[in-house]
Amino acid sequence: MSKQVIGAGIRGANVVVDRVEGKINAAIEKYGKDQAVALPNTAYYLPVIYGITGEKVETLGDMLPIMEKCRQLLADVPVDNCWTPYLGPGLDSGMAALFAFDMEEALKYLGDDCPYLASKEDPEETDADIWLGAADDIILRKRGVEFVDGSAPGFAVIVGAASNPEAAAKIAKELQEKSIYVFMASNNEKGTSFAKQLVEAGVQIGWNTRLVPFGFDHPSAIHGVGFAVRAALTFGGKTPGDHVGVLKYIKDRIFAFIIALGPVCDEQYAAACGAINFGVPTIADTDFPQVLPTGVCTYEHVVTNIPESEIVTKAIEVRGLKITISKIDIPMPYGPAFEGERIKKDAMHVELGGPKSFGFEFAYSKPLDQVEDGKFTVIGPNIKDVEEGGLLPIGIWIELAGRKFQEDFEPILERQCHHLLNGAEGILHIGQRDIVWMRISKKAVAAGFTFEHFGTILHAKMHNEFGAIVDKVQVTIITDADEVNKRMEICRKTWTERDNRLSDMNDETTETFYSCSLCQSFAPTHVCVVTPERPGLCGAYNWLDCRASYEINEHGPNQPIAKGDVMDERLGKWKGVDEFVIPASGNAFESFAAYSILVDPMTSCGCFEAIAACLFAANGIMVVDRDYSGETPCGMGFSTLAGSVGGGLQTPGFVGISKFYIGSKKFISAEGGIKRLCWLPKALKEASKDMIDARGAEVGIPNLYDMIATEENGTDEETIMAFLTEAGHPCLEMEQLMEMM
C-alpha cells in the first residue's frame, strides 16, 4: 500500500541529508566553524530544529551535532522483498530531511547571493525576483495572531505547479476565499513553479494577499514548517525541545496541509513524510499509492489522484478544516433583531407553503463525497416568476455531511431552519416539518432576493454555528408542486422513523446520560439529569438534544454522565449520577433519584413545564401545567406551587417535570407510575390523551383516561376522592404513598 511512498521518502531523506552535509562542510571550509548563521530577524534560531530538539544553531559549527542527529534518525532504504514496519522509520527519516532543509535554507543567507528579499511582506515589480524566504518575527506575530483568532483557518503549502497559470489562479482564489494562507515553494520537473504561474496570471502575491512565495526549490518549503513551529512556541507557549507539545499544537491548532501538484520526486516524498509528524497531510493530483490509515494526522496522511479542480475541497476535508463564513451574502440585512419581524399581507410578495398551500423542510445527512458544499439549486419557479401576492408550495431540502455528523443530529439541525431563516429581514418563517409557512416581503424582493438565498443563509449559519459537526451543506429549494409532493413522501417516512428512534431507546441500555445546567444562572444548585426516558423538565431538552449540544460545544451546559453501577433500580439511582451531581450542584445534594417523587427527587429550577405533586389522601399523583391558572387538589395553584418547589430545591412530594414525561415508562415509576395519575387540568388531559391511552393499555388499564379527574370533577381532595372511588381509579388500591417515603 504505502510502502512505496515511505520507501521513496526514506530514499529522498538520505539524498537530502547527504547533500546538506556536503554543503555544511564546504561552508565551514570557506567561513570557519565560528561563522554565525541565522534566519533574518528571528529569536527562534533555525526554528524547526530549535522547536523540536531545543538546540540553538547559531554558528556553522552548531550544525555538526544536528547532522549527527539526522544520521541517527535516518533509516536504511527498505529493500523490496523485506517487510519491516515502515511508518515509524519513514517519519523519522522525514524529520531528518526537515532538519537538513532548515540548515540548507540558513546557508542561503550566508554570503552575497541570497536568493530572498529579506524582511519584505510583498515582492514588488522592481524587485529582481519574487521569493521571500523565511518570515521574520514581526510578520510571524502579525500573521500568527490570525491563526489564533481563527481569521486564518489554516495554511496550504503548495509544491510543484498547476497544469497552467489559469488553473493555478483558480486554486489560489479558492483558497483565498476561504481565508487560507497559501505558502508556495518548489517547482516541477519543467522548472515551472506555482508562484510564477500566479504572477503570469496577473495575481497579486505576497503576505498581504495571503499568497506567499517562499522559494523556488524544494528546501524552501521548510519555511512553512518553520512558521508553524514558531507559532507553537509563540502562541502555544510551548518550550523549545518539547517536541510532543509542539507537534500536537500544530496538529490541533494550525491546520496546515500540503497540496502537491504534478509529479512528486523522492525529495518531496521525504518532506511529506516529515510533515506527517506534524499532523500535516499531503493531497496530490498525481496517482501514487495513498497512506490512508489515520493515527498521526487527524484523518488520512497522503491522499492522491485528486483532480486539480477538486483538490482544494478534498484537502479541506482531509485536514478536517473548519470554515466560517463571516458575511452572509444576501441582499438584505441579517441579525437577531429581525427574528420577531411580521410580514403583513400587503407587504408580502409571495407566500410559501402554509395553510393555503403545502410544503416541507427537511435535513438529512449523506456521505461526505455525495454532498457539494455551497451548492444551491432551485427546482420550479423562482421569485421572478411569481406575481406580487403569489402563492407557491415550498420544499427546503438540506443535505448535510460531516466527519463527526451522526444521524441523530439531523432533526436538531432541521429544527434550526426556523431560527436561521427568520434572522433575515423580509423573511417570515413559521412552523417546521410539513407545516412550514413562509412569507417573503416586497422589500426583500426589490432588494434582489431569490430562492437560492435560503441556501446562502442556511449554508453560512450552519457552518458557523454547527461547524463542529457539519462540514458540507447543500440546499435544494423546490417550488414545483409535483416535486414537492414526491419528496414529501420521503420526508414523512423519515420523520416517522426519527420519532420512533428515541422512543425505542431506554435508560437501561444507555450508558451515558447528559446533564443540563443551563438553569443554574438563576437556580444555582439545580441540575437536570437527562436520560432517554426522562427529558429535561423544561421540555426543551431531550437526551438527543443534550448529546448534540455536547458534541457541538464540549464546554457548554450539557455534559456527559457515565451512569455507572446501578444503586437502586426502582428509584433510578446510579453511582455515576450521584458522583456527578454532588460537585455540579455545588455540594448541595448528594443523591438524585430519576424516577421518584418521594425519595431524593431531582431538583426543580423554575422553568418546568408542569409540576407533579402527591395527593396523600387520594394516594395518587396530580400534575398541573403552567397554562392552568385555577386551583388544584393539593391546595395550591401552579404559581404558588412553582414558588415553593422551584429555585433548585429537592422537595419530596413534588417535582418539576416536562409534559412529555407523563407518557414515559419511567414517569414516577418508583411510586407506581401512570397508575398513580389521578388529576390533571382538563386542557392538559386532553392534550395528553394519546400518551395516557397508550400507557394505560400497557399497564392493563385501557380506560385509565376516563378515571383521571380534572377541575370539572373537583379542585379539592375530598371531592375528587368521590370521583376516583366511583371511577375505580387504581391508585386507591396501591401501596400507601405515605409509607413509601
Residue ranges that bind another protein, judged by CB under 8 A: 141-142, 144-146, 148-151, 234-237, 253, 517-518, 520-521, 524, 555-557, 583, 586-587
* Among 442, 448, 436, CA closest to 477: 436
| CB closer to another protein out of 86 and 541 | 541
674 binds, among ligand SF4, another protein, none (CB under 5 to 8 A by kind): none
What are the residues whose beta carbons fall under 8 Å from the beta carbon of 722, sequence distance 6 or more? 714
Minimal distance, residue 634 CB to ligand SF4, in Å: 22
| CB closer to another protein out of 649 and 709 | 649
144 binds, among another protein, ligand SF4, none (CB under 5 to 8 A by kind): another protein
234 binds, among ligand SF4, another protein, none (CB under 5 to 8 A by kind): another protein
Which part of the chain contacts ligand SF4 (CB under 6 A), choosing from 170-178, 343-351, 440-448, 517-525? 517-525
Minimal distance, residue 606 CB to ligand SF4, in Å: 8
583 binds, among ligand SF4, another protein, none (CB under 5 to 8 A by kind): another protein
Give me the DSSP letters along 54-120. -----BGGGHHHHHHHHHHHPPPPPPTT-----HHHHHHHHHHHHHHHHHHHHHHTSSS---S-TT-
Q: Bridge-partner residues for 160, per DSSP?
A: 261
142 binds, among ligand SF4, another protein, none (CB under 5 to 8 A by kind): another protein
| CB closer to another protein out of 521 and 703 | 521
d(CA 223, CA 185): 9
701 binds, among ligand SF4, another protein, none (CB under 5 to 8 A by kind): none
What are the residues whose beta carbons fall under 8 Å from the beta carbon of 85, sequence distance 6 or more? none
324 binds, among another protein, ligand SF4, none (CB under 5 to 8 A by kind): none
556 binds, among ligand SF4, another protein, none (CB under 5 to 8 A by kind): another protein
| CB closer to another protein out of 232 and 312 | 232
387 binds, among ligand SF4, another protein, none (CB under 5 to 8 A by kind): none
Q: Which helix (H) or strand (E) holds 214?
A: strand 211-215
User: Is the distance from CB of 153 to CB of 315 less than 8 angstroms?
Assistant: no
Which part of the chain contacts ligand SF4 (CB under 6 A), choosing from 194-202, 207-215, 511-519, 570-578? 511-519
d(CA 62, CA 34): 9
d(CA 534, CA 632): 25
71 binds, among another protein, ligand SF4, none (CB under 5 to 8 A by kind): none
Phi, psi of 574 (to 5 degrees): -130, 150
516 binds, among another protein, ligand SF4, none (CB under 5 to 8 A by kind): ligand SF4
Minimal distance, residue 476 CB to another protein, in Å: 32
Minimal distance, residue 660 CB to another protein, in Å: 25
User: Is the distance from CB of 211 to CB of 203 less than 8 angstroms?
Assistant: yes
Which stretches within 542-615 are classed as H helix?
A: 543-552, 575-584
Give the residue, chosen from 20, 348, 363, 519, that forms a contact with ligand SF4 under the rule CB under 6 A: 519
Q: Which helix (H) or strand (E) holds 457?
A: helix 452-466
Site string for ligand SF4, 602-641 (x = CB under 6 A): ---x-x----------------------------------
Across the beta sheet with 654-657, what order do the strands follow?
654-657, 610-615, 620-625, 677-679
| CB closer to another protein out of 250 and 704 | 250
Minimal distance, residue 614 CB to ligand SF4, in Å: 21
538 binds, among another protein, ligand SF4, none (CB under 5 to 8 A by kind): ligand SF4
Minimal distance, residue 379 CB to another protein, in Å: 37
CA distances from 563 to 516, 527, 546, 555 (A): 15, 15, 15, 19
User: Is the distance from CB of 456 to CB of 435 less than 8 angstroms?
Assistant: no
Amino acid at 187: N
CA distances from 571 to 281, 555, 600 (A): 52, 30, 9
| CB closer to ligand SF4 out of 540 and 566 | 540
Give the residue, chosen from 383, 488, 518, 584, that forms a contact with ligand SF4 under the rule CB under 6 A: 518
Locate the DSSP E strands across 616-739: 620-625, 654-657, 677-679
| CB closer to ligand SF4 out of 192 and 525 | 525
Which stretches within 326-390 are classed as H helix?
A: none
555 binds, among ligand SF4, another protein, none (CB under 5 to 8 A by kind): another protein
* Among 614, 566, 642, 560, CA closest to 740: 614
User: Is the distance from CB of 153 to CB of 322 less than 8 angstroms?
Assistant: yes
User: Is the distance from CB of 582 to CB of 527 less than 8 angstroms?
Assistant: no
Site string for ligand SF4, 475-504 (x = CB under 6 A): ------------------------------
Give residue 300's region: left, alpha or beta (phi > 0; psi -120 to 50). Answer: beta
597 binds, among ligand SF4, another protein, none (CB under 5 to 8 A by kind): none
Structure-block grid coordinates of residue 719: 371531592
d(CA 433, CA 414): 8
Minimal distance, residue 50 CB to another protein, in Å: 19
User: Is the distance from CB of 593 to CB of 604 less than 8 angstroms?
Assistant: no
What are the residues whose beta carbons fall under 8 Å from the beta carbon of 111, sequence distance 6 or more? none
d(CA 674, CA 663): 8
CA distances from 136 to 38, 152, 227 (A): 11, 18, 9
Which part of the chain contacts ligand SF4 (CB under 6 A), choosing from 71-79, 220-228, 340-348, 516-524? 516-524
Structure-block grid coordinates of residue 151: 481569521
| CB closer to ligand SF4 out of 292 and 540 | 540
Minimal distance, residue 600 CB to ligand SF4, in Å: 17
User: With the C-alpha atoms ordered 107, 111, 113, 114, is the resulting torsion angle positive or negative?
Assistant: positive
Three-state SS for 568? strand
201 binds, among ligand SF4, another protein, none (CB under 5 to 8 A by kind): none
Minimal distance, residue 141 CB to another protein, in Å: 5
| CB closer to ligand SF4 out of 139 and 528 | 528
237 binds, among ligand SF4, another protein, none (CB under 5 to 8 A by kind): another protein
Minimal distance, residue 673 CB to ligand SF4, in Å: 21
Closest residue by beta carbon to ligand SF4: 536
Site string for ligand SF4, 525-564 (x = CB under 6 A): ---x-------xxx-xx-----------------------
Phi, psi of 91 (to 5 degrees): -65, -40
Minimal distance, residue 151 CB to another protein, in Å: 7
d(CA 71, CA 707): 86
Structure-block grid coordinates of residue 514: 447528559
User: Is the distance from CB of 129 to CB of 46 less than 8 angstroms?
Assistant: no
Which part of the chain contacts ligand SF4 (CB under 6 A), choosing from 37-45, 118-126, 297-305, 515-523? 515-523
Three-state SS for 328? coil
259 binds ligand SF4 (CB under 6 A): no
Minimal distance, residue 587 CB to another protein, in Å: 7
Three-state SS for 159? strand
- Interacting residues toward ligand SF4 by CB under 6 A: 516-519, 528, 536-538, 540-541, 605, 607
